[in-house]
Structure 1
Amino acid sequence: MKLRRRSFKGNREEENFWPSFTDMISTIALILFFLMLLAYIQNIIAGKQIIDTEQRLEESNAEISRAEKKLRLLRDKIDEAKAEVEEGEIALKLSEEQIEEQREIIAESNRELGELRSKLQGIAVLRLDVLKKVKGSVERELGKTNDAGEELVLISDNGNIVINEGLVFDTGSSKIKAEGRELLDQLATAFERVLDDRDIRKNIDAINIQGHTDDRGSGEYNRGLSSDRAKEVVNYIMKSNSDLENKYGRYFAASAYSEFRPIASGQSEASRAKNRRIEISITLKDSNVQNVINDYLKDSIELFNLDD
């Protein structure tokens, strides 16, 4: 009986050993499975991270490429801007040079215009000087005014000698009065003295005796009256001084302006008296003025040719 019990106990111990070993193997296998699963999951996660990293890297590379492209475009623009600045500096320098040249041309032109103005003023002064000499010569012989206090001769704003018509003619008449003859005698002598100066004479083209009336009467009547008075003055001074006619008769002319060139406005007797007058104008030779202009043009053309 005891022998049987032992045998039964050994069988139970052997049976209990194998399940424990199997459980251990299963546990190890399960652990290995979990480890492999964990490794697999880690691999998946790592692979995803690598993919994400590669995508980010590609995006970064793309951004770098875009940035490099923008940088190249910016450099190109900077180069263009530098080129434009350089061209602008060159153009500015050229403009400054051109402006300086224009200033020099303007300065030269102003100088030449100043000389031309001086020459033309000299010619104008010569004309006025002739009239002043004639006026002065008459006043030295006859005085400046008559007994009524009226000026014998005066120089008007337009640079002509003006003789009051009442000193020479009666109203509506072209016959020279005795008082007028004395004035015209001195006028004839004065003109001879002035024209004896060759430097003055060479610049004179004509000495024009002008007849003027007031606005009373018809135009036809006034033209006839002003013409007759102008011709009477010319004829008288030539008869008064035969030397004047013989030497310088070619310079004198008569013209009539009727009432159409008044020097005083209004219809008062004082205004009409001023408008009834004999005017003596000096016409300078156009050739002298033209020579001054031609000299200026010649110098200007030579200057432009040098610039070319």
Structure 2
Amino acid sequence: MKVRRRSYKKDGEVQNFWPSFTDMISTIALILFFLMLLAYIQNIVTGSNLEYAKKQLMDTQKRLEESNAEISRAEKRLRLLKDNLDEVKAEVERGQIALKLSEEQIEEQKEIIAESNKELGKLRSTLQGIALFRVNVLEKVKNSVEEELGKTNSDGEQLVSIADNGNIVINESLVFDYNSYKIKSEGKELLDQLAVAFENVLEDEDIRKNIDAINIQGHADKMGDPEYNRELSAKRATTVVNYLMKTNNTLEEKYGRYFMASGFSNLRPITSGNTEEERAKNRRIEISLILKDSNVRDVINKYLEDSKEIFGE
């Protein structure tokens, strides 16, 4: 009875061993399966990562190529900029040279202009002197008459005056009666002194050489017939010249060639008023000094010659 039990136990022990081994093998197989699955998945993931990495690498290479191209273009632009910079530097240097030359030319021009202004000032002074010359001469004549006869007559009328145009003006009523060209006795006294004054003035050679003519002008008002007024004003002027020559033979012999007569009728009025007083101002004897144009031309020509030396031909 005991032997059988032992046999039974041994058989039971064998039967319990194999199920445990089977479970172990299954577990190992399952682990291997999972390992293989994991490896497969890993290969898939790794493959995807590799493709992604390859794509990234290609993109990076493409961007690198683009960057290299951009660098090449930038280098080309840089070379162009450098070339342009060199040209600009050269242009600046040329400009600086030109500027220096211009500054030197400007200084030369300033000197020329200063010299020209100096000469022009001399010309202006000379021409102003010529313009004042005729006024000064007639002022001398006027002052000479006033020294002998005074400035006014017994009625308070001014004997001679200097008009705005620089001419000597003699009131017609002091020399002629209304509508007449016969000299009054009071007028003869005035003209006597006028003849002496002109002789004294013309004794100066510096004055004579600048005078072309002494014009005795007759002027009338606008009343009456214009043709008659022209004749009357011309006759009055001629009568004055004739009297000056007659009353002073020396004046006629030495300087008669300077005197002339002209009649202007009412064409050169002093005033446009219609009152008797204003019309009386227009009835007058006026004495003007005509200067030699050649003297003025000589002054201008001299200035032009001097200017050639300053500015060059």
TM-score interval, normalised by the smaller of the two chains: 0.7 to 0.9
- In structure 2, the CA distance between the partners of 1:76 and 1:87, relative to structure 1 (3 Å rule), is farther
- Report the Cα distance in structure 2 between the residues aligned to 1:74 and 1:212, rounded to whole angstroms: 91
The number of aligned residues is 306
- Report the Cα distance in structure 2 between the residues aligned to 1:96 and 1:69, rounded to whole angstroms: 43
> Which residue of 111, 122, 138 corresponds with 2:118?
111
List runs of 5+ in structure 2 lacking aligned partners. Answer: none
**Matched-pair identity in %:** 52
Q: CA deviation at 1:66?
A: 3.8
Q: CA deviation at 1:32?
A: 3.8
RMSD: 3.5
Q: What TM-score do the two structures reach when normalised by structure 2? A: 0.83
- Report the Cα distance in structure 2 between the residues aligned to 1:122 and 1:230, rounded to whole angstroms: 29
Any idea what SS the aligned residue of 2:223 has?
A: coil
- Report the Cα distance in structure 2 between the residues aligned to 1:165 and 1:81, rounded to whole angstroms: 88
Q: CA deviation at 1:276?
A: 0.7
The more displaced of 288-297 and 54-63 is 54-63
Task: Specify the alignment match of 2:144 in structure 1.
Answer: 137
AA aligned opposite 1:295: K
- Report the Cα distance in structure 1 between the residues aligned to 2:100 and 2:75, rounded to whole angstroms: 32
> Which residue of 46, 53, 56 corresponds with 1:42?
46
Matching of residue 272 in structure 1 with residue 276 in structure 2? no
> Which residue of 251, 259, 263 corresponds with 1:256?
263
- Report the Cα distance in structure 1 between the residues aligned to 2:86 and 2:222, rounded to whole angstroms: 79
- Report the Cα distance in structure 2 between the residues aligned to 1:242 and 1:68, rounded to whole angstroms: 111
- Report the Cα distance in structure 2 between the residues aligned to 1:64 and 1:150, rounded to whole angstroms: 111
Matching of residue 189 in structure 1 with residue 196 in structure 2? yes
Question: Cα deviation per residue 1:174-216 (whole Å; 9 max; x = unaligned)?
Answer: 1111111111111111111111111111111110000001111
Question: Cα deviation per residue 1:87-120 (whole Å; 9 max; x = unaligned)?
Answer: 7964766665565555444433332221111000
- In structure 2, the CA distance between the partners of 1:100 and 1:46, relative to structure 1 (3 Å rule), is farther
Matching of residue 288 in structure 1 with residue 295 in structure 2? yes
Question: Cα deviation per residue 1:55-75 (whole Å; 9 max; x = unaligned)?
Answer: 145336535754774686478
Task: Specify the alignment match of 2:56 in structure 1.
Answer: 52
What does 1:139-154 align with in structure 2 at a 5 Å threshold?
139-154=146-161
> Which residue of 24, 28, 38 corresponds with 2:28?
24
- In structure 2, the CA distance between the partners of 1:95 and 1:155, relative to structure 1 (3 Å rule), is same
- In structure 2, the CA distance between the partners of 1:77 and 1:226, relative to structure 1 (3 Å rule), is farther
The more displaced of 294-303 and 250-259 is 294-303
Q: CA deviation at 1:20?
A: 5.2
Q: Is the 8 A contact 2:112 2:311 kept in 1?
A: no
- Report the Cα distance in structure 1 between the residues aligned to 2:193 and 2:290, rounded to whole angstroms: 21
> Which residue of 161, 173, 179 corresponds with 1:166?
173
Q: CA deviation at 1:246?
A: 1.1
AA aligned opposite 1:137: S
Any idea what SS the aligned residue of 1:257 has?
A: strand
List runs of 5+ in structure 1 lacking aligned partners. Answer: none
- In structure 2, the CA distance between the partners of 1:60 and 1:104, relative to structure 1 (3 Å rule), is farther
